[in-house]
Amino acid sequence: MFSLQGKVAVVTGAGSGIGEAIARAYADAGAKIVILERNKEAGDAVAASLTEASSATCIECDVADEASVKAAAQIALDANDGYIDILVNNAGIGHVGTILTTGGADLDRMYGVNVRGVMFVTQAFLPAMVARKKGVIVNMASIGGIVAVRDRFAYTATKFAVVGMTKCIALDHADDGIRCNCICPGRVETPFVQARLAEYPDPVKAREDMASTQALKRMGQPVEIAAAALYLASDEAAFVTGSSLIIDGGWTAGK
């Protein structure tokens, strides 16, 4: 089950965290991996570590820069006979603030990566999928795309947009053989989150506070999100499209 043998998968932002875990899960399932990563050094390191399981490469790319995306996509397509099977729009950034503490530049930056980035990358690869009448797109949204998250005005706005884009892509391209879904994680213990925790006066308490927001009283692990991404990319999910898969340890269960 969940084999990706012989498939080509592009994963953005796979230099660490959830993106890295997804790339590893896909490689273990037999997929050839193409990492699009702004931090080329980190992406190269992940790609090198995957070569025992599968073929993996990294292409430098800033998803917020349309020209960078087009150039990276052309390299990826040229190296894979003009096609890919799976696209994971994972790259994203966060921001803390309410509507009163969020500036226009903050919102523009968030939309540049989290919304325009998803649009640019999808626009670059989707035509090749449509031409073959098959393909899978997995977008990384958030519970912040399902419910409001306190003090995350700009982030929540962008993740609601990702959920909406996912549904539109799924509806518009179902007849083209394309499936598009998104994953909505709760708090996940990524290297980024661990670094933020280390900045608190009491990191242990801060970690406990973050864990307490989930009904299961813990944060998720990147591999748990990767498992969902593997399912959505596999043939076993052939009847799943336009869906938002919530993986949040029960955060939204009572909302």
| Residue range of the domain that includes 34 | 8-185+221-247
Instruction: Kindly state whether residue 57 falls inside one of the protein's structural domains.
Output: yes
Decide: 161 and 114 in contact? Cβ < 8 Å.
yes
pLDDT at site 238:
98
More confident residue, 210 or 215: 215
pLDDT at site 255:
81
Instruction: For residues 73 and 138, state if they share a domain.
Output: yes
CATH number at 110 reads: 3.40.50.720
Distance of CA 53 to CAs 12, 24, 33, 179, Å?
Answer: 19, 8, 10, 26
* Share above pLDDT 90 across residues of the chain, in percent, rounded to a whole number: 87
pLDDT at site 181:
98
Tell me the per-residue pLDDT of 112-152, one tens digit each, with 9 for 90 and over.
999 999 999 999 999 999 999 999 999 999 999 999 999 99
Query: In this structure, which amino acid lies at residue 121?
Result: V
pLDDT at site 175:
98
User: Out of 111, 155, 200, 231, which one is annotated catalytic?
Assistant: 155
CA-to-CA distance for 247 and 148, rounded, in angstroms?
16
Instruction: Kindly state whether residue 3 falls inside one of the protein's structural domains.
Output: no
pLDDT at site 91:
97
Tell me the per-residue pLDDT of 24-41, one tens digit each, with 9 for 90 and over.
999 999 999 999 999 999
CA-to-CA distance for 246 and 184, rounded, in angstroms?
5
Beta-strand runs (E) in 117-232: 135-140, 178-185
Instruction: Kindly state whether residue 255 falls inside one of the protein's structural domains.
Output: no
Pick left, alpha or beta for residue 6 (phi over 0 → left; psi -120 to 50 → alpha; otherwise beta). Answer: left
Average pLDDT for residues 192-218, to the nearest whole number? 86
- For 107, other C-beta atoms within 10 Å of its C-beta total 18
191 has pLDDT over 90: no
Instruction: For residues 49 and 68, state if they share a domain.
Output: yes
Average pLDDT for residues 109-113, to the nearest whole number? 98
Q: Per mean pLDDT, which of 7-11, 193-197, 213-217 is the most reliable?
A: 7-11
Instruction: Kindly state whether residue 96 falls inside one of the protein's structural domains.
Output: yes
- For 45, other C-beta atoms within 10 Å of its C-beta total 16
CA-nearest of 34, 132, 47 to 83 is 132
Tell me the per-residue pLDDT of 42-52, one tens digit each, with 9 for 90 and over.
999 999 999 88
pLDDT at site 148:
96
Q: Which residues lie below 8 Å from residue 198, measured CB to CB, with a gap of 6+? A: none
Decide: 250 and 45 in contact? Cβ < 8 Å.
no
Orientation of helix 222-233 relative to helix 17-28, angle to 10°: 50
Instruction: Kindly state whether residue 72 falls inside one of the protein's structural domains.
Output: yes
Decide: 184 and 247 in contact? Cβ < 8 Å.
yes
Instruction: For residues 206 and 127, state if they share a domain.
Output: no
CA-to-CA distance for 30 and 135, rounded, in angstroms?
16
Average pLDDT, the chain: 96
pLDDT at site 151:
94
Distance of CA 24 to CAs 33, 35, 58, 87, 175, Å?
Answer: 9, 11, 13, 14, 31
Average pLDDT for residues 213-234, to the nearest whole number? 96
Identify whether 155 is a catalytic site residue: yes
- For 192, other C-beta atoms within 10 Å of its C-beta total 14
Number of domains making up the chain = 2
pLDDT band at 87 (very low <50, low <70, confident <90, very high): very high
Instruction: Kindly state whether residue 252 falls inside one of the protein's structural domains.
Output: no
